Structures are given as C-alpha cells and as structure tokens.
C-alpha cells in the first residue's frame, strides 16, 4: 500500500470516524475498508538430526587415557589471560572422550 503520488508508505488514520489510508504528502485513500494487511507464514521444514558427527578438526598423535587409542582430533582456545598460552583440547578418534592439556 504505497502512495500513487510520491511512492511513500500509506499509513492508517481515522477521519470522521472512518479509517482511511493517508500519506504525508496529503494523498488520502477513502477505500481503506477494502485494504487488509495479510501475512503469509510458510511452514518450516523439519530439522534433520544426524547422529554421526563429521569431524573436520585436524588430527594428531595423542594417547587417550580412556581407551588407549593413539589418534585424536585437537583444537586450541584462549581460556585464560592473553599473556598466557592457549589451552589445547583433544577428542579421541575412537571413543570420543574429550580432554584438555595446559602448557
């Protein structure tokens, strides 16, 4: 619902007890009763749940304390002050056990 004169958005107003659509430029649409605001809501698709996690992290040689496997995924996060070294996290490639290592 845009103004045919200036292209601005028409706003609902009451004039003489009736609703009209009016623009700031002075245009008035007396047929406000026929104008209705509609909202079309699309149904959302269902979210697929994947049980298997595709690991995209780099691998390294690190021994898992739970199962003894010698390969683990790793990542590093700054968990303490910036003048201290990062914390390394490891996740076993076999049993998925996660542990951390401080320097």
Exposed/middle/buried for residue 87 (C-beta within 10 Å: 0-12, 13-18, 19+): middle
- Active-site positions read 83-84
70 lies in some domain: yes
**What's the total number of domains in the chain?**
2
pLDDT the model gives residue 98:
92
Length of the chain: 103
Same domain membership, residue 64 and residue 33: no
Q: Does a structural domain hold residue 90? A: yes
Q: Do the domain assignments include residue 49?
A: no
Per-residue pLDDT of 61-82, as tens digits, reads 999 999 999 999 999 988 888 8
Q: Which residues of the chain have pLDDT under 70?
A: 32-37, 50-55, 103
Q: What is the token pair recorded at 43?
A: 């149904």
Give the CATH number, domain containing residue 83: 2.20.25.10
Does residue 32 share a domain with residue 2? yes
* Domain coverage including residue 84: 59-101
* CATH number of the domain within which 7 lies: 2.20.25
pLDDT reported for residue 52: 63
The pLDDT value given to residue 64: 93
Q: What is the pLDDT of residue 63?
A: 93
Q: What was the pLDDT predicted at 42?
A: 81
């Amino acid at each position: 619902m845009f103004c045919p004169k200036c292209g601005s958005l028409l706003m609902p107003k009451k004039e003489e007890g009736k609703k009209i659509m009016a623009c700031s430029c002075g245009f008035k649409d007396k047929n406000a009763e026929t104008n209705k605001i509609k909202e079309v809501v699309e149904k959302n698709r269902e979210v697929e749940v994947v049980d298997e996690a595709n690991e995209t992290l780099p691998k390294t040689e690190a021994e898992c304390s739970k199962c003894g496997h010698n390969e683990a995924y790793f990542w590093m996060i700054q968990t303490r002050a910036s003048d201290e070294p990062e914390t390394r996290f490891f996740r076993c490639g076999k049993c998925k056990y996660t542990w951390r290592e401080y320097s």
